[in-house]
Amino acid sequence: MRISTRRILCLALALITVFSAAAISAGAKVTSNFPNTTPKQISISGAVSGKQGTDSANLGIVQNIKAQSYYTDKISLSWSALDGAMGYNVYYKSLDTAGAKLALLTSTKSTSVTMNNLTAGSKWEFEICGYTIVNGVVCEGKTTVYQTGTKPEDVPGMWLTRASQHIWFRWTRVSKADGYYIYRKDSSSGFKKIKDFTASDTEFEDTGSSVGNTYTYRVEAYINVGGQTLTGGYNELIAVDGLCAPGNRGSMSMISKAYLRWSENDYADGYEIQHSSDQKTYTTLVSTYKTFYNTPRFNNGTHYFRIIPYAVRNGKKVYGTYTKMSLYISDTAYGEYVGTTYVAICIESQYMWYYKNNNLVVSTSVVTGNYNSMDTPKGYHSVQSKASPCTLVGDGYVSYVDYWIAFIGSGYGIHDASWRSEFGGEIYKGNGSHGCVNTPYNAVQTIYNNISVGTPVIVY
């Protein structure tokens, strides 16, 4: 009598340990009588061994093998009961490993089996056959082969790489994927498949996008096995064609701060400003609709910034590509050391700060000289004199103020302006001062009572 050593060992192990499992996408290829062309013999504990037998019971082949459901880490199979079969032997091998050998997964009286702890996107082949006992010898019927796999992983990440003229984006490669499907949705239609990529591709250019339009993209990975395509979950990206990185308009370091300036994007509703000191971790400083921003004060050193335009769609921010800037921040202005007590005035933001011994005493909106005609001079200045009250006399005007702080000779200074009810914004473009810094009453009063002649006044 000659019994297959492999079958005896595998079945003996199966009586001790049974793996479990789950499945992936729809059906798979079923092939009868492969690779076995004749019945097999196998010994089962408790059966009487005898001379080599044949499938005298004429067991048929296992029918209707199918995956019950689809997962990334298990495969579950079921099949129809086979008349005359006492049980079923289930063998398996990996299709991802060249030359892999069949091994026994389980010997069971059930018509289903599950194999667990699998890798996402893995491919497998199963042989299932019925068995019975003939003259004391356990004989297998002919086998049916079923090929299937586990679902590939969800695409873990997508990011925009370009948004001018066309939309470009990339995604993170999925291990074991055979390819990727790209879907697109716009304001006039639902999702449509627009591209089928091979596994080596992880970037897409949408040459069919139009400037100003909003698109939603989905990318899902797939594998091909057993004549079927199994897909994983998708990742999603929303993009606006034209929402691209703004240009740098001369950003600079100014007295321990970064003064960031960028060009306007026609499709942006605002801009998010992010900061990092190591280019690894970025934190959001502010969201603003303006095209400039004075940061908080930083320690001396190189600092990194991102200017990210965004558009609001359905109440949510849709981000475009961003501009990266790096600036060396120092406690100087116009190349000169400033110290810990100073006034800083930003023309573009129409804002003023007064620091005393590194403590912020006043921060306020102001109105500076009328734009392009009586501009307040930029540069490193200092307090020349103080007066309270004071009468200001100029070409065609006389103004009475309670607080006067001159910083360029006696012609330019910081003072209250009782004739104004609003400060800041773009008032200075058309209704600015004669060159002085018009300041809310309480703010200039506080500065006046806490500032000394010689204190630096930095205008930029």
pLDDT given for residue 171 in this prediction:
98
pLDDT in tens, 189-242: 999 999 999 999 999 999 999 999 999 999 999 999 999 999 999 999 999 999
- Which CATH number is associated with domain 5-149? 2.60.40.10
217 CB-contact burial (10 Å; exposed 0-12 / middle 13-18 / buried 19+) = buried
Nearest to 44 by CA among 102, 127, 106, 91: 106
Tell me which of 2.40.440.10, 3.40.140.10, 3.40.50.150, 1.10.10.10 is the CATH number of domain 337-459. Answer: 2.40.440.10
Average pLDDT, the chain: 89
**In the chain, domain spans:** 5-149, 158-240, 252-330, 337-459
Spell 428-445 as b/e; 16+ CB within 10 A means b: beeebbbbbbbbbeebbb
Measured CA to CA, the distance from residue 264 to residue 324 in angstroms comes to 15
Domain 158-240 identical in fold to domain 252-330? yes
Pair 219, 171: CB distance under 8 Å: yes
Residue 457, pLDDT above cutoff 90: yes
Residue 357's identity, in one-letter code, is N
- 17 falls in which pLDDT band (50, 70, 90)? very low
**CB within 8 A of 372, min separation 6: which ones?**
none
Measured CA to CA, the distance from residue 114 to residue 14 in angstroms comes to 13
Could you tell me where the beta strands, DSSP code E, fall in 187-291?
A: 189-198, 203-206, 214-225, 228-240, 252-254, 257-261, 270-276, 283-288
- Is the link from the previous residue into 296 a cis peptide, with omega within 30 of 0? no
Residue 49, pLDDT above cutoff 70: no
pTM score, two decimals?
0.78
Nearest to 115 by CA among 21, 24, 23, 22: 21
Residue 304: CB atoms within 10 A of its CB come to: 17
Measured CA to CA, the distance from residue 265 to residue 248 in angstroms comes to 12
Residue 19, pLDDT above cutoff 60: no
pLDDT above 70 covers a percentage of the chain that reads: 88
Could you please state the CATH topology (level 3) that the domain comprising 158-240 is classified under.
Immunoglobulin-like (2.60.40)
Measured CA to CA, the distance from residue 365 to residue 353 in angstroms comes to 9
Give me 417's structure tokens.
């302006």
pLDDT given for residue 57 in this prediction:
55
Measured CA to CA, the distance from residue 5 to residue 257 in angstroms comes to 79
How do beta strands 316-319 and 332-333 pair?
A: unpaired
pLDDT in tens, 416-454: 999 999 999 999 999 999 999 999 999 999 999 999 999
For domain 252-330, the CATH superfamily is Immunoglobulins (2.60.40.10)
Residue 207: CB atoms within 10 A of its CB come to: 9
Residue 16, pLDDT above cutoff 50: no
